[in-house]
A and B are shown apart, each in its own frame.
Chain A
Amino acid sequence: MAAALVIVMCVAELIGPVFTSPTHLFSGPNDAGENILMNRLQRVLVAAMVGAALAMCGAVFQGILRNPLADPFILGISGGGTVGAVLAVATGAEAVVFGFSTRTAFAFAGSLGALVLVLAFSRIRGTVATHNLILAGVVLNAIFSAIILFFMSIMSVSEMNNIYRWLMGSLYHAYDWNFVQIGVGAAMITACALILLTLAKSLNLFALGEETAVQMGVRAGTMRFACLILTAILAGVAVSIAGPIGFVGLIVPHIMRLIVGPDHRMLLPASFFGGAIFLLIADTLARSIMPLTHPSIVELPVGVVTALCGGPFFLWLLRARSRLAIFGK
């Protein structure tokens, strides 16, 4: 899968609204081809990072909550991130935190804040109850969208345009990141993913039911807490870069489960690479499709592509699999 990701990254690097030969990569900063390829490279790397983070989150959430509808957004994490981004724009706070823009930093803080809130509200006698977690997430999401709408209603046109773009989910902001920042983000995502991978075996036991898992020696509370913190960091990084991109976290783990099966030791890495590949393809389409099909310079928001391509593909896979299942496969 890692090899597939590298291949897709190379292909994505070659496809764009402007055709550019890869030899331009080394022709110096005053060459248009080099400029285009370097900017595109930034975007390709960020798309892979965000896709991997979102899909990994989705896979872990679906496992730990034992709920097929769970994705990074159900716990209000993306809502919190968006509130953070909206606050940064609305208050016009101009500061740079470790080289990242205020909006990125605010969005990250918002995601973590939302996680703290949702954990606090769903604790019963010291443990976090799954159904409470989902309920608290849904209600927090509703409150967050009310806050977002409030700020949007008092904003100026240009500020609102800004937030609007953010809400649609877009990898447009990848251009604002330099390669050091991309490196830091990638390191964070990889570290979280590796730690989550060590928990894969316990996640498998969780699938049998919490009581069974506890009987088999899984410390359920600690385990759930660790998973939630790590996924919150993953989702926080993803949301702070690209806004709430839908469907990746929900669909990719399901697709991978249909392909590699429910074993989390396979499912987690498959989702990680699958998410990166999926978002890369979607973003390549999003930035190329309009300029290539008719002479326009407008890009599509990647969220439109992930939903329009991912949704039907998932439905088709679901049908194909169930038909196979009838024949005992």
Chain B
Amino acid sequence: MKYFSHMLRLFTCIALAGLVCCGRQATPPSNTAIPQRIISLSPTVTEILYELGLGDRLIADTTLCDYPEDAKNKEKVGDFLSVNEEKIISLQPDLIIDTTSKSHEKMWERMARAGIRVEHFEIDTMDAVYDAYTGIGKIAGVEEKAAGLVNNLKDGFADLKARGARAANKPRVLFVVDYENLVLAGEGTFIDTLLADIGCVNVIADKGWPGNASFEVLISLKPDIIIIAVNGKDLTEEKIKTIKARWTTAASVPAVANNRILVINADTATRPGPRLLKGWTETAKLVHPELFNSP
């Protein structure tokens, strides 16, 4: 009898453990179902989703997602540093779309364990932006629309490049991403590629995004044009004046002497995404008005 009760207890334990395990084992996400509750963890992804007409399926995004206007009203699950995982799970999404980031890998694993599908796209070059469109379109079942948008963007940039190639003189440009800390766009960045496309030469030979740049070296590089990208919300007349004033002690730089310091909107020009074409068309018009203003 005693033996029997031991066995009974053992079986109960095994059964309970099995139950717990089964409970843990979430139903595997079916890749065929079209996601209806999407969370975006990047402003670029948010913009692409809206562009693809999926704004109503987006249930939450980050505090950085400020475009289009409607994206601001979505539930916020994170900022540029961290995401609130409990909040994500409580919102019961069926898809999380992120941009590729080493620091998010563990979070993706935890989300997958919670039964939530995670997709991530590397968005740092123009080709990667096209791939993100195609990928998101495929997942969300709007492949044709995505292909159409990609073609539009490709045509637009091809047109920019064709016009840029006609530039008789290619100005040497310094592109400033963060004017306070002098973070610049260097070799290998998508900004470097786009600068070349619109008929400019990047004066920065460093790779990537060098910050804390030496002011003396910048003076000695003598750029013909300085392009400074400033967040849309900071684009006030007064602010632009202070930003330009910083360069007054460098009167020997042709860009300063000829008043060719161009302040542009960082939201459209430096955020790799759908609005990049608009941002760079505007920038190109400022740099080479004769080439880009004609229809």
Contacts and interface: CB of A to CB of B under 8 A. Distances in A.
Interface of A: 16-18, 29-32, 34-36, 38-40, 42, 94, 153, 156-158, 161-162, 165, 170, 172, 175-176, 287, 290-291, 295-301
A165 B212 CA distance: 9
A157 B214 contact: no
B275 interface: no
A35 B212 CA distance: 19
A175 B215 contact: yes
Contact of B253 (A35, A161, A175): A35
Contacts of B210: 296-298
Interface string B230-273: 01000000110000001001111100010000000000000000
B252 A30 contact: yes
Interface of B: 64, 80-81, 178, 180-181, 183-184, 204-206, 210-220, 222, 231, 238-239, 246, 249-253, 257
Contacts of B184: 297
A220 to B, nearest CB: 46
Given A38-B249, A39-B249, A165-B181, A17 B212 contact: no
Choose among A34, A94, A157, A299 the residue with the greatest number of B CB atoms under 10 Å from its CB.
A299
Contacts of A18: 216-217, 219-220
Given A35-B250, A35-B252, A158-B178, A299 B219 contact: no
Nearest to A32: B252
A207 B206 CA distance: 54
22 contacts: A16-B216, A17-B214, A18-B217, A31-B252, A35-B250, A35-B251, A35-B252, A40-B216, A156-B64, A156-B80, A158-B231, A161-B180, A161-B211, A165-B181, A170-B212, A175-B215, A175-B246, A290-B214, A291-B214, A296-B206, A297-B184, A297-B210
A271 B204 CA distance: 41
B81 A36 contact: no
A158 B100 CA distance: 21
Contacts of B204: 297
Contacts of B220: 18, 32, 36
Given A16-B216, A32-B219, A161-B180, A298 B206 contact: yes
Contacts of B239: 94
A157 B180 contact: no
Contacts of A287: 214, 216
Contacts of B212: 165, 170, 172, 298-301
B80 A17 contact: no
Across the A-B interface, give the 3 residue pairs with the lowest CB-CB distance, nearest first. A32-B252, A18-B220, A29-B251
Task: Tell me if A's interface is mostly helix, strand, loop or mixed.
Answer: helix
B272 to A, nearest CB: 15
Nearest to A40: B216
A165 B214 CA distance: 14
A32 B218 CA distance: 10
A297 B249 contact: no
Choose among B211, B215, B222 the residue with the greatest number of A CB atoms under 10 Å from its CB.
B215
B231 A36 contact: no
Given A176-B246, A298-B210, 16 more contacts: A17-B217, A32-B222, A32-B252, A32-B253, A34-B252, A158-B178, A161-B178, A165-B180, A170-B212, A287-B216, A291-B214, A291-B217, A296-B206, A297-B210, A297-B218, A301-B212
Contacts of A30: 251-252, 257
Contacts of A35: 219, 249-253
Contacts of A290: 214
A26 B97 CA distance: 59
Contacts of A36: 216, 219-220
Contacts of B183: 161
B213 A299 contact: yes
Given A32-B253, A296-B206, A157 B80 contact: yes
A175 B216 CA distance: 11
Contacts of A32: 219-220, 222, 252-253
Nearest to A175: B215
A32 B219 CA distance: 7
A158 B217 contact: no
Contacts of B178: 158, 161
A182 B205 CA distance: 34
Contacts of A156: 64, 80
Contacts of B257: 30
B113 to A, nearest CB: 27
Nearest to B63: A156
Nearest to B257: A30
A17 B214 CA distance: 8
Nearest to B245: A176
Contacts of A291: 214, 217
Nearest to B242: A94
A300 to B, nearest CB: 8
A297 B209 CA distance: 11
A42 B249 CA distance: 11
Nearest to B220: A18
B172 to A, nearest CB: 14
